[in-house]
Amino acid sequence: MEISGKAIARGKLVKMNPFKLNPWRRLKDLLSGGLMSVIVMAILALILVMGTLLLVRSWPILAAYPLRDLLTSTTWRPTRGQFGFAPFIVGSLTVTLIAGLIAVIPALLSGIYLAEYTSKRARTRLKPLLDLLVGIPSVVYGLWAILFIVPLIRDHIGPWSDRVLGGTFPIFARTNPSGYGLLAGGFVLGMMIFPIIVAVTDEVLRNVPREMRESLQALGATRWEATKVVVFKASLPGVMAAVVLGFSRAFGETLAVMMVVGNSPHIPGSLFDTAYPLPALIANNYSEMMSIPMYDSALMGASLLLLLVILFFNVVARLTIMRVSR
């Protein structure tokens, strides 16, 4: 608080606004606030521009074919003018779901372990390894899957599943003996989103005040009971955001999945069947679009569909997080 001399002379203490005493500080505050607002609006405008451009480029195929036929048709034969996106939508959703089933629970438990159970010394050793996993290029994950995951599925997991479960549950029957397919893609995606979910969960849990843990432990609760009852519930919105971030990464991943999923445009009927996600469709075929009518528009439509699905997924997840927070 700064006091003016005239106010003291009149026997009064008056709080002065420091920005009125220093106009340059007020100007810097206004400039920084305005700059951050511009950056946020630019990001929102970029998403709008991307969506508009993709809509314009995909409009020919949207005008030529009913949207319902494009989304539900299972036939993809661009040379005959047949553009069915259903196999690619199902492939993307299925491989993402498999990755989530493989990675989410272990990642959450690992994040809890790092935040609540490890010592400071152990955490300083484990944290850099976790950051390294986040930064590994996707092509390295893809090569690792080809060298390790695909042979493992082909020689061990596939035959065992077909022999033990295939007769009762067709989804576990081995339809592709090569090892390339949904399960291989789900494994590599699960490995890619695992460190992201762990890192975010760890940071979220560590931001919960320690007094909340100590209060419950003082009443006789164990460390796990305090974590489950207080810490995890207090950080639930942040944990859900970590899972959403991982699913968004999985749904949009291209190269690593493209290398092991098989890239066959049909709806898979088994975990070991091949599939064809939307990102792989765009990456594999964009260079061939010039010689086939409507191919350019179809691939732009696939890009628009991918953008809309990710936006829808993130909006629904954000609304769910807001509801949980309240």
Residue 207 has pLDDT above 90, yes or no: no
Instruction: Give the structural domain span for 165.
Output: 67-325
- Shared domain for 14 and 137, answered yes or no, is no
CB atoms within 10 A of CB 187: 24
Out of 46, 62, 78, a domain closes at 62
Render pLDDT for 113-126 as a digit per residue (tens, 0 to 9): 888 888 888 888 88
Out of 62, 80, 102, a domain closes at 62
- Shared domain for 49 and 128, answered yes or no, is no
- Shared domain for 237 and 314, answered yes or no, is yes
Residue 184 has pLDDT above 90, yes or no: yes
- Shared domain for 108 and 211, answered yes or no, is yes
Region 18-24: mean pLDDT is 62
Render pLDDT for 94-120 as a digit per residue (tens, 0 to 9): 999 999 999 999 999 998 888 888 888
- Shared domain for 77 and 200, answered yes or no, is yes
Distance between start and end Cα atoms, the chain: 37
Spatial CA neighbour of 201 closest among 70, 267, 106: 106
The total number of structural domains that make up the chain:
2
Helix (H) or strand (E) holding 83: strand 82-83
Structure tokens, 141: 């994950």
* pLDDT (0 to 100) of residue 150: 93
- Shared domain for 151 and 216, answered yes or no, is yes
- Shared domain for 200 and 53, answered yes or no, is no
- Shared domain for 50 and 158, answered yes or no, is no
Region 82-89: mean pLDDT is 90
CATH of the domain at 222: 1.10.3720.10
* pLDDT (0 to 100) of residue 107: 92
Structure tokens, 166: 């295939």
pTM: 0.82
* pLDDT (0 to 100) of residue 6: 47
* pLDDT (0 to 100) of residue 223: 81
Residue 233 has pLDDT above 90, yes or no: no
Residue of higher predicted confidence among 14 and 145: 145
- φ, ψ for residue 102 (rounded to 5)? -80, -40
- Shared domain for 19 and 150, answered yes or no, is no
Q: Is the dihedral of CA 253, 259, 265, 269 positive or negative?
A: negative
DSSP code at position 247:
H
Render pLDDT for 34-71 as a digit per residue (tens, 0 to 9): 888 888 899 889 888 998 999 998 998 988 888 888 88
Residue 174 has pLDDT above 70, yes or no: yes
Region 237-254: mean pLDDT is 83
Q: Using CA atoms, how far apart are residues 30 and 46, in angstroms rounded to an integer?
A: 24
Inter-helix orientation angle 295-325/236-252, to 10°: 170
Region 141-160: mean pLDDT is 91
- Shared domain for 254 and 193, answered yes or no, is yes
* pLDDT (0 to 100) of residue 17: 54
Out of 41, 62, 83, a domain closes at 62
The chain-wide mean pLDDT, for the chain, equals 83
* pLDDT (0 to 100) of residue 324: 64
pLDDT tier at 169, thresholds 50, 70, 90: confident
* pLDDT (0 to 100) of residue 187: 93
- Shared domain for 120 and 245, answered yes or no, is yes
Region 226-248: mean pLDDT is 82
Residue of higher predicted confidence among 319 and 17: 319
Residue 180 has pLDDT above 70, yes or no: yes
Region 3-10: mean pLDDT is 48
Q: Using CA atoms, how far apart are residues 247 and 191, in angstroms rounded to an integer?
A: 12
Region 251-258: mean pLDDT is 86
* pLDDT (0 to 100) of residue 148: 93
Rg (CA), the chain: 27
- Shared domain for 277 and 163, answered yes or no, is yes
pLDDT tier at 325, thresholds 50, 70, 90: low
